[in-house]
């Protein structure tokens, strides 16, 4: 089956601006004119467009100009200035603080893969970067493509002499903690959450299951503390220590999918197998629910080394015969 081209997406920039700033060339079957071959490398192409001033400054500061000006070929997923602005705001950073980050080179090379990968060759799944950490591509129901669930590809196939550029609307960063570490860190934060989830994982002896790295792929629908309190009330218990261990383990496994599924990977009415044998979950994108539990729109796509976390407002109890 022929892969869907990404070039038909809604572009963030006007077509004229792209053609001027990036040197895109359109041709048709009736045009006998030889196509223009791009002579500028990916660094020079980015530097020629004012929408990439932050990216260009970052490449220069990280001393990556010689590398990205080399033969390559490289495929660069390039955040524009608006994307960097969003990233800085979300992380309460200034541009100067970003440029002074000792990990700046790693952040930038996480946006680069080896080879010349055109939009028609982009598929959902894991992609290895030159930063030695993979990112993950998702295809949303509207056929848009996303990276790590938080950056949308908004323009594609910008030619350079040593590769190709695809434009992102956000900066992507590699996860540094696994699912267990994220849940534990949040449970001990100034505004603690997931204290009951962590306690349940400890009691059910499941913590180690979620301590892996990129070789693992889990999706966890994580109930809040309030969700667990509602469960305790329904079961007439005072906490996880009063819940029978085997039942508690089954409840926890029922919240886990043995695959890395970002929100963009979910489909309406999909029935998803869980870690609990013969127990499935049903997706309702219209109401943003998993079974009867509502997803927290602000807490989906929490990316971990070994998977992704989506926060829900109820504890899901597996069906009984």
Ranges of each domain in the chain: 6-168, 179-312
Provide mean pLDDT across the span 40-60.
95
Report how far apart, in Å, the C-alpha atoms of 63 and of each of 58, 74, 110, 161 are.
8, 17, 15, 20
**Tokens at 36, concatenated:** 């223009």
Asked if residue 74 has pLDDT above 60, the reply is yes
pLDDT score of 320: 80
Write the CB contacts of 219 (distance below 8 Å, at least 6 apart in sequence): 256, 257, 259, 260, 261, 307, 308, 309, 310
Provide mean pLDDT across the span 285-306.
97
pLDDT score of 37: 61
What's the number of CA atoms in the CB half-sphere (13 Å) around residue 230? 12
Decide if 6-168 and 179-312 have a common fold: yes
Separation of alpha carbons 168 and 189, rounded Å: 31
pLDDT tens for 216-255 read: 999 999 999 999 999 999 999 999 999 999 999 999 999 9
Asked if residue 204 has pLDDT above 90, the reply is yes
Asked if residue 212 has pLDDT above 50, the reply is yes
pLDDT score of 6: 33
The CATH H-level superfamily of 179-312 is FAS1 domain (2.30.180.10)
pLDDT score of 72: 87
- The verdict on whether omega for the bond into residue 258 sits within 30 degrees of 0, i.e. cis, is no
Asked if residue 22 has pLDDT above 50, the reply is no
pLDDT score of 154: 96
What CATH class is the domain 6-168?
mainly beta
């Amino acid at each position: 089956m022929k892969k869907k081209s990404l070039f038909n997406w809604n572009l963030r920039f006007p077509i004229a601006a792209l053609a001027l700033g990036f040197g895109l060339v359109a041709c048709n079957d009736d045009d006998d004119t030889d196509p223009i071959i791009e002579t500028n490398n990916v660094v020079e192409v980015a530097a020629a467009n004012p929408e990439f001033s932050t990216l260009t400054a970052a490449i220069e500061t990280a001393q990556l100009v010689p590398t990205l000006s080399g033969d390559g070929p490289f495929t660069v997923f390039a955040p524009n200035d608006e994307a960097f602005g969003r990233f800085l705001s979300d992380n309460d950073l200034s541009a100067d603080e970003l440029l002074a980050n000792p990990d700046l080179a790693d952040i930038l090379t996480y946006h680069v893969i080896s080879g010349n990968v055109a939009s028609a060759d982009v598929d959902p799944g894991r992609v290895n970067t030159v930063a030695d950490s993979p990112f993950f591509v998702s295809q949303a129901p509207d056929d848009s493509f996303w990276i790590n669930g938080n950056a949308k590809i908004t323009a594609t196939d910008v030619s350079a002499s040593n590769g190709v550029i695809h434009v992102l609307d956000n900066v992507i960063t590699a996860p540094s903690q696994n699912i267990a570490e994220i849940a534990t860190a949040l449970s001990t934060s100034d505004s603690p959450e997931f204290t009951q989830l962590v306690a349940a994982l400890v009691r059910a002896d499941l913590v180690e299951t979620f301590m892996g790295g990129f070789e693992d792929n889990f999706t966890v629908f994580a109930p809040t503390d309030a969700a667990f309190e509602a469960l305790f009330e329904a079961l007439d218990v005072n906490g996880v220590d009063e819940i029978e261990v085997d039942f508690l383990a089954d409840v926890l496994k029922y919240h886990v999918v043995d695959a890395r599924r970002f929100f963009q990977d979910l489909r309406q009415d999909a029935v998803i197998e869980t870690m609990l044998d013969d127990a499935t979950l049903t997706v309702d994108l219209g109401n943003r629910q998993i079974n009867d539990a509502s997803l927290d729109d602000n807490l989906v796509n929490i990316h971990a080394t070994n998977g992704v976390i989506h926060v829900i407002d109820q504890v899901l109890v597996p069906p009984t015969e």
